[in-house]
Amino acid sequence: MVRRLARIVVPVLAVACSLAQSRAQERAADLAAPVRLLADGEPIDIGRLSKFAHAGPAFGDVDGDGDRDLLVGDFPGNFWLFENAGRDASVAYRRGTALLAGGAKAKVPVY
């Protein structure tokens, strides 16, 4: 009974996996290639700013000048600001600095 069931289930699973892989490849073909973001001409690498480089990026107008800046949170709860000195259509991020809140480094306790 088990062998008979396996003869039916295994081919069905193989077809389902093949279809899922084909659909994933079709969706991936619609995506643009990854782009390495630069700050002052160098690749942004949170590992140079924080000893724990797990990054959580977000875009928003942090400095109120109308363009989107890059804000990156790291694993210990620190925030790094990469100010956009350009425009949204042609970004020009400046070197990352610690985000300040009330004159002190902004930090969210994570543990």
pLDDT digits (tens, 9 = 90+) for 36-90: 888 999 888 888 887 776 788 899 999 999 999 999 988 888 889 999 999 988 9
Decide if 111 is inside a domain. no
pLDDT digits (tens, 9 = 90+) for 12-43: 454 455 656 666 666 767 778 888 888 999 88
Decide if 18 is inside a domain. yes
CA atoms of 91 and 58, how far apart (whole Å): 15
100 and 48 within one domain? yes
Share of the chain above pLDDT 70, in %: 73
Decide if 65 is inside a domain. yes
CB under 8 Å to 81, separation ≥6 — which residues?
A: 62, 69, 70, 71, 96, 97, 98, 99
What is the pLDDT, as a whole number, of residue 65? 94
Decide if 110 is inside a domain. no
Decide if 98 is inside a domain. yes
53 and 16 within one domain? no
Total domains, the chain: 2
Q: Does pLDDT of 10 surpass 80?
A: no
73 and 45 within one domain? yes
User: Which domain covers residue 8, as residue numbers?
Assistant: 1-31
For residues 99-109, give the mean pLDDT: 90
66 and 84 within one domain? yes
pTM of the model: 0.66
